[in-house]
Amino acid sequence: MSKPKILVTRRWPEEVEAELAQRYDATFNESDIPLSVAQLKEALTHYDAVLPTVTDSINAEVLSAAPLRCRILGNFGVGYNHIDIPAAKARGLTVTNTPDVLTDCTADIAMLLLLSVARRGGEGERQLRAGAWSGWRPTHLLGTKVTGKTLGLIGFGRIAQAMAHKARHGFDMDIIFYNRSQPPRDKIDAVQARQCASLEEVLQQADFVALHCPGSPENHHLINAERLALMKPGAYLINTARGNVVDSAALIAALQQGAIKGAGLDVYEGEPDLHPGFLELENAVLLPHLGSASRETRIAMGRRVLTNIDAFFAGQTPGDKVC
């Protein structure tokens, strides 16, 4: 019996690629350049499974491919807002993702951004590398103390809970959060958190606001000019969720005008294209979507995809089925 044909749209850790090649008739994107809409559409007519990432726009146009051979999209990543889920469901496609395995690493990056922007680490490194450091002095690059401050979380899923744990038990931070549903009581109590009645309440009270909400259509520009205006002038915004959750132009204006103190960003609208205004800001720490970028985590993510497609082709329901 022939092996199912699969396409891996970007390069994965070599250990996982070797496992895929052993178990499937696998094709890899050797150039590691994002595929076009036309290429993705063609892939759905030639492969039994396509394994996309956040860089692949699996939109309605792609999903209109005919004749449709693909039966499963094994997404490499926990977020799947780059996939048109209703359109995929309408075509009878199964979609899976990779939750759990990237929780701690993404929370680590959120804390890295928080600490870096509060203590002006990016500014300090740039100054040092430029040969502009004239030596220690009492007023040099004064930042904001983190320990004991209030961290406000927008969303209280796995990654938010992991960040709260690090912030509470590592930096004695007070935790407040807004979540559309009621999280388990034990998860709230574990970090002595307080649930707020609204997103606006979190924005008004927090010293650091960290976004941990899906990049869904209803969350598009969730953080806009009006909501940024609710934050404290000395507050910081941290985003490791999805770029479209924040109105980039509004955030840049708020940072330029001193409406908020700073921002730490790992994700952007339209990435890898970056709003040029961000590059002019000293009070923004910018990372190139490194949330899950540890070797251990990326291998675990790949193996999670492998487990999902193994189950699918064995006639079982994948454990991480989205639709």
Active site residues: 242, 271, 289
Length of the chain: 323
Q: Under 8 Å CB-to-CB from 65, ≥6 apart: which residues?
A: 41, 42, 44, 45
Report which of 270, 273, 277, 205 is spatially closest to residue 243, judged by C-alpha positions.
Answer: 270
DSSP 157: S
Distance CA 262, CA 284 (A): 6
Distance CA 202, CA 213 (A): 14
Distance CA 106, CA 311 (A): 27
User: How crowded is the C-beta side of 235, counted as CA atoms within 13 Å?
Assistant: 24
Which class for 198: exposed (0-12), middle (13-18), buried (19 or more C-beta within 10 A)?
exposed
Strand residue runs (E) in 9-48: 25-28
